[in-house]
């Protein structure tokens, strides 16, 4: 049974994020609520990336057991990376909707958690890049 990995065909996922961000921006301009609509668009972009990252897989190339474990948990398409993307998406969607509806949120805590998740995601992406850049 072969491990699964992020295929090159998933490189388009960054465009999904940008597309949803611009959709949110456009809708925000139309309804005169730019920031919340932009947050919702960004959240939908992160969520779409997480969903596609979890669905689209292909067999992994041969590598050490350590590299396969790192890739399966931390790589794009890895369990932890997908969870963080989904949480970021949900956070941005909830943040945007709370601004639109006037629901009071403790923004210092909410924003801090989102930024921490984003930082963890970047660290994991850097670890994946380091592991994948090693000569085989």
User: Quick one: angle between helices 34-55 and 13-31, nearest 10?
Assistant: 160
Report pLDDT digits (tens) over 99-119: 888 887 777 787 788 788 888
- Reported as a pLDDT band with limits 50, 70 and 90, residue 10 is low
Tokens 């072969």 locate to 2
pLDDT > 60? residue 62: no
Boundaries of every domain in the chain: 4-133
Nearest-angstrom CA–CA distance, 132 and 36: 37
> What's the rounded Cα separation, in Å, for the pair 114 and 129?
23
Give the model's pLDDT for residue 77.
52
User: Which pTM value belongs to this model?
Assistant: 0.64
Over residues 16-48, the pLDDT tens digits come to: 888 999 999 999 999 999 999 999 999 999 898
Token output for 23? 């959709």
CA dist 22 and 83 (Å) reads 24
Average pLDDT of 45-61? 75
């Amino acid at each position: 049974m072969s491990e699964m990995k992020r295929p090159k065909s998933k490189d388009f996922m960054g465009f999904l994020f940008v597309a949803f961000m611009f959709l949110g921006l456009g809708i925000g301009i139309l309804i005169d609520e730019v920031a919340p609509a932009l947050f919702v668009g960004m959240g939908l972009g992160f969520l779409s990336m997480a969903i596609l990252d979890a669905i689209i897989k292909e067999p992994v190339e041969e590598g050490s057991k350590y590299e396969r474990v790192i890739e399966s948990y931390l790589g794009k398409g890895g369990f932890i990376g997908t969870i963080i993307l989904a949480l970021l998406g949900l956070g941005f969607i909830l943040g945007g909707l709370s601004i639109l509806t006037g629901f009071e949120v403790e923004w210092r805590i909410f924003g801090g958690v989102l930024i921490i998740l984003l930082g963890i995601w970047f660290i994991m992406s850097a670890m994946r890049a380091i592991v994948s850049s090693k000569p085989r």
